[in-house]
Amino acid sequence: MPWLSDDRMWEVFGTRGLFQASYGAADFGECRLAVDRVGAGGADDWYREWAALADGLVETADADAEAGRPASARDGYLRATTYYRVAYLPLYGEPTDPRLADAFARESDALAKYAPLRDTPVELVEIPFEDGATLPGVLALAADDGRPRATIVHTNGYDSSVNEMFVSHALAANARGYNALLFDGPGQGRNLIRDGMRIRPDWENVVRPVVDYACGRPEIDPDRIVLAGWSFGGFLAPRAAGFEGRIAALWADPGQWDQRDALLARLPLSDEQKASFPDIDPALIEPMEQALRAPDADPMLHWSLIQRGLWVHGVSTLFDYLVEFVRFEVSSVAGNITCPTLLTFAEDDPIAAGAPKLYDAIASERKELLRFTVADGASGHCEANGRRQFHQRSYAWLSDVVPPVA
């Protein structure tokens, strides 16, 4: 039974916002209202209604902040970040829709207005990267007591941003005494939307300067840095951990294996062609791309592969996208991961299918594969239906391995 809409795409995008209600970044009636107003409309209608909802919240939050009502202002700004993000999801693709860029800027501005109103420090940071560029980050401290604490350095997924990660990760971490350093790498958030920086498979070279930055912050204990990743970050973080010796623990939600295995299994190719890929005739993929671009194509598949996939990787054809995606490999470095490791696995999340294989390959003597089932009430990709339970069980493991304060 759907939560918000019988339209599959609107249900996926809408519940992505709705489930943020668990940490105060959405409200049930507001999400229902926006979806009802969209009705049978399309992407333009979706953007209009969700962005209008967010604009109204910011206007009210501005008045609350001016009148000295910080708690109300905080709540409004935080919900607005969610609704701006939900508004622009269907606009993904290249060339970048100006409305997407504008809504992302307003989303980021709402978080910037929220940050100084919090009881514990939240700092929007710029992390030095390659060729003079910077990666946007958020450093959320558990306390303002001058004590260096264990810090979760969180790497993002395929279509998220530090703004969404703040709600999804930092609030739970801070409540348990951990700092959270969130960052967007190439192909994520502002790096993609504003700067056109595409995703890349050598994530170790993305994480290294982030850990360098973390080690230079006096609020962060350099001996107790946890590298975490969610969604596609559940692949990227283990990839980086295979090279990064400064992390005290690894946490992947969900754990993933080589992208080649997952991707080729879904392609209409013979076993011989799959084994030879990418050394095949690109024409073999063209019928699939034509079907995905057809007017009657599955909207969610079109969005995932054509709108989002080509944009994130900076390619123009489905074949080129597949060639790029199979370069994302962790099997060659999994044996180098020796730190304590937590992998999560939700039974109804197909992206988590490779978690057991990664678990077996990791060399750490202290590792756990934490399973979530539909019967638990924590189903969905990245346990979206039960984030409170997910954090409760995951932090029970982490607090034994890397306590927040020495």
Q: Are strands 367-372 and 341-346 parallel, antiparallel or unpaired?
A: parallel
Q: What was the pLDDT predicted at 77?
A: 98
What CA–CA distance (Å, rounded) separates 215 from 225? 9
Tokens read off for 268 = 């209409």
- Could you tell me if 179 and 212 lie in one domain? yes
Q: ω into residue 136 within 30 of 0, thus cis?
A: no
Instruction: Identify the pLDDT of residue 266.
Output: 84
Same domain, 253 and 269: no
Is the same domain home to 68 and 21? yes
My answer on whether 309 and 298 are in the same domain is yes
Q: Is residue 316 part of a domain?
A: yes
Residue with tokens 């409200």: 27
The answer to whether position 2 is within a domain reads no
Q: Residue 236's pLDDT is what?
A: 98
Q: Is 156 helix (H, G, I), strand (E, B) or coil?
A: coil
Q: Does 195 map to a domain?
A: yes
Helix (H, G, I), strand (E, B) or coil at 259: helix
Burial class (CB in 10 A: 0-12, 13-18, 19+), 288: middle
Q: Is 29 exposed, middle or buried (0-12, 13-18, 19+ CB in 10 A)?
A: exposed
Helices (H), 265-309: 271-276, 286-293, 299-301
178 within a domain of the structure (yes/no) = yes
Give the CATH number, domain containing residue 91. 1.20.1440
Quote the pLDDT of residue 94.
95
> Cis omega (within 30 of 0) on the bond before 121?
no
Structural domain of 131 = 120-258+328-401
Q: Report residues of the chain scoring pLDDT below 50.
A: none
Pairing, β 249-253 against β 367-372: unpaired
Domain count, the chain: 3
Number of separate helices (H) and strands (E) present in the chain: 18, 8
- Burial per residue of 328-347, b for 16 or more beta-carbon CB atoms within 10 angstroms, e otherwise: bbbeebbeebbbbbbbbbbe
| DSSP code string of 159-227 | S--HHHHIIIIIHHHHHTT-EEEEE--TTSHHHHHTT-PPP-S-THHHHHHHHHHHHT-TTEEEEEEEE
Written as one letter, the residue type at 321 is Y
286 and 383 in a single domain? The answer is no
Question: Beta 220-230 vs 179-183: how paired, if at all?
Answer: unpaired
Residues 198 and 235 in one domain: yes
**pLDDT value, residue 182:** 98
Radius of gyration of the chain (CA): 21
Neighbours of 152 (CB within 10 A): 27
CA dist 210 and 300 (Å) reads 33
Residues 246, 139, single domain; the answer is yes
pLDDT at 48: 98
Are residues 285 and 251 part of one domain?
no
Q: Is residue 406 part of a domain?
A: no
Q: Is 1 part of a structural domain of the chain? A: no
- Enter the DSSP assignment of 340: -
Per-residue confidence (pLDDT) for residue 246, from 0 to 100: 97
Residues 241 and 267 in one domain: no
**Is residue 229 within 8 Å of residue 244, measured between CB atoms?**
no
Q: Does residue 94 contact residue 42 with C-beta atoms inside 8 Å?
A: no
Domain closes at, from 269, 291, 325: 325
Position 243 in a domain:
yes
**Which one of 84, 114, 144 terminates a domain?**
114
Q: Which of 114, 145, 165 delimits the end of a domain?
A: 114
Q: What is the pLDDT of residue 380?
A: 86
CATH number of the domain encompassing residue 364: 3.40.50.1820
Q: Identify the residue whose tokens are 């391995």.
A: 401
pLDDT score of 309: 96
Distance CA 97, CA 91 (A): 6
Together in a domain, 248 and 360: yes
Q: In what order do the strands lie in the sheet with 220-230?
A: 122-128, 134-140, 179-183, 149-155, 220-230, 249-253, 341-346, 367-372
* Domain shared by 251 and 365, yes or no: yes
SS3 category, 341? strand
Cα separation, 368 vs 193, in Å, equals 36
Which one-letter amino acid corresponds to residue 99? Answer: R
Q: What span, in angstroms and rounded, lies between the C-alpha atoms of 100 and 91?
A: 6
Residue 263: per-residue pLDDT:
86
What sign for the dihedral angle of Cα 390, 391, 392, 394?
positive
Q: Which amino acid does the sequence have at 300?
A: M
Are β-strands 134-140 and 179-183 bridged in parallel, bridged antiparallel, or unpaired? antiparallel
pLDDT of residue 1: 81
Is residue 74 a part of any domain in this protein? yes
Q: How far is CA 387 from the centre of its chain?
A: 14
| Same domain as 221, residue 192 | yes
